[in-house]
Structure 1
């Protein structure tokens, strides 16, 4: 086990990510950095964390927008910094960046959330189709089998998770797993949120040092169901000009697991198994696919 501390050693830059923002970011004690591969429970976790911070199951607005995406490449950077600086409460900062592209502060709390890579792939495919811009369309070619083959076999590049490949998901996981022995670095899994959301809410509360009475846990569990989050978005959607999506409510997919059943051929399933088995030790593969569920 290494005894030194994480540090930012590289930048990732792609169509939706630019990590040089971290070089000048001023942390506050208790800041939460929520970094996940895209479509791995990011918004769900943002909503839970912001509701815990506010001590209320807020449904009169899309509270997850308060967890600002700091290293987003296509939004106003000064506005993002100003919005974070103006927040008087404990801050939650969204990212999709591996740990080696994020500034480290021992006073901050780092949370990473993961999901079965194939479920992530299918959600990514739908997510990109819902985007107004064609920045990522080329990553999902229409030729049968080509999109999944690219996901499986695409190399890791300096674009980080903007690659939207298995290699980029694994790289993100390794970058946080390496430091998960530190008391301020915490790994969560989508499957655990699905199987027992109330236990997950309690764990989030413990990690960020926030009270979680049972009434609040129950209220947040109800408010962050997928149908409820769609309703919140429907009624409080950002103006069309401020949204990167054709339909913001479609941002929330089915939330299901095992999406590949009936959608991938057996050779494709076998190719995935061979690829991830060669990339991760058995224990890491099992956790990345299934979390800690019994």
Structure 2
């Protein structure tokens, strides 16, 4: 697949617009009907997250769990965005995420999305597919998304931090409100048992434990040795250096501004939030996070 022609197309950043009540850009809505008509299979696994919440991390873990033993060359030769296609993305001159997902040769097919729950193609529910949702605390998620928007040509300009901070609170970022996203998926879990809801902070705290839980959810039996090996292989510093996992082969991202994988820490928000911003944030958070059963940690 050729990666140069879109340079011209990506010379201007896309504009945000309201799409069925969610802030989006055309790169994620241009292929809307095809994506909505995507035919899921019962053994497909959907990885769903708000952007910058550990998507690539969980994608790599699942890829290793399923295919690490049988075809290890995958991880060395095929970039993660082809092994685990991004369902809704459509960049001119590149294969759309939907086409890549259709053509996946693996069983199961691993597919990722940043859609809020109401945008997920209905065939995933009809086929009772397993879905792994990863959520990250809002403060760190905001900081990570800010740096991502600074370096990614298919995202709107990040602008300066204080402005970005307020846009996050208002849900004026691609894929909409963090609050709506994490709450919407949490509610869905109450009546759809095939969602495994994970927390980024838990994965940082004990990756091996979280891999064990994933294996239970997926009905996989992997030896303790194998799980330990996978846990070691997906630690942040290793993945950051791994060209097949760190997105460095995609020219739409400018690593001179910021790497795709930046810090992978819990609590980096303290290096960005002012005292006043933190107070504004905490007040706003109390109003929007009404469900006492959904709890996040901003430090561990």
Q: How does 1:115-194 map to 2 (within 5 A)?
A: 115-131=136-152, 133=153, 135-137=155-157, 140-142=158-160, 145-152=162-169, 154-155=170-171, 162=174, 168-181=177-190, 182-194=192-204
CA distance in 1, matches of 2:38, 2:244: 33
Q: How does 1:212-231 map to 2 (within 5 A)?
A: 212-231=222-241
| 2:296 equivalent in structure 1 | 288
Gap regions ≥5 residues in structure 2: 1-19
Q: CA deviation at 1:111?
A: 1.6
| 1:113 equivalent in structure 2 | 134
Q: CA deviation at 1:171?
A: 0.8
Residues 37 and 169, structure 1, Cα contact 8 Å, conserved in 2: yes
Give structure 1 regions of 4+ aligned residues with deviation exceeding 6 angstroms. 234-238
CA distance in 2, matches of 1:163, 1:96: 7
Residues 136 and 296, structure 2, Cα contact 8 Å, conserved in 1: yes
Residues 114 and 188, structure 1, Cα contact 8 Å, conserved in 2: yes
Q: How does 1:53-64 map to 2 (within 5 A)?
A: 53-56=66-69, 58=72, 59-61=75-77, 64=80
CA distance in 2, matches of 1:63, 1:215: 25
Q: For the structure 1 residues 128 and 277, does the alpha-carbon distance in structure 2 shift closer, same or farther, using more than 3 Å as the test?
A: same
Residues 55 and 216, structure 1, Cα contact 8 Å, conserved in 2: no
Residues 193 and 200, structure 1, Cα contact 8 Å, conserved in 2: yes
Q: For the structure 1 residues 79 and 70, does the alpha-carbon distance in structure 2 shift closer, same or farther, using more than 3 Å as the test?
A: closer
Residues 85 and 100, structure 2, Cα contact 8 Å, conserved in 1: no
Q: How does 1:194-213 map to 2 (within 5 A)?
A: 194-213=204-223
Mean Cα displacement is larger for which, 56-65 or 85-94?
56-65
| 1:47 equivalent in structure 2 | 60
Q: CA deviation at 1:63?
A: 5.6
Gap regions ≥5 residues in structure 1: 1-9
What is the CA RMSD across the aligned residues, in angstroms?
A: 2.9
CA distance in 2, matches of 1:78, 1:260: 34
Q: CA deviation at 1:173?
A: 1.1
Residues 11 and 20, structure 1, Cα contact 8 Å, conserved in 2: no
Deviations 1:111-158 (A, max 9, x none): 211111110111111112222x26411xx322x622212222x256xx
Q: CA deviation at 1:201?
A: 0.9
TM-score between the two structures when normalised by the length of structure 1: 0.80
What is the number of equivalent residue pairs in this alignment? Answer: 268
CA distance in 1, matches of 2:260, 2:248: 13
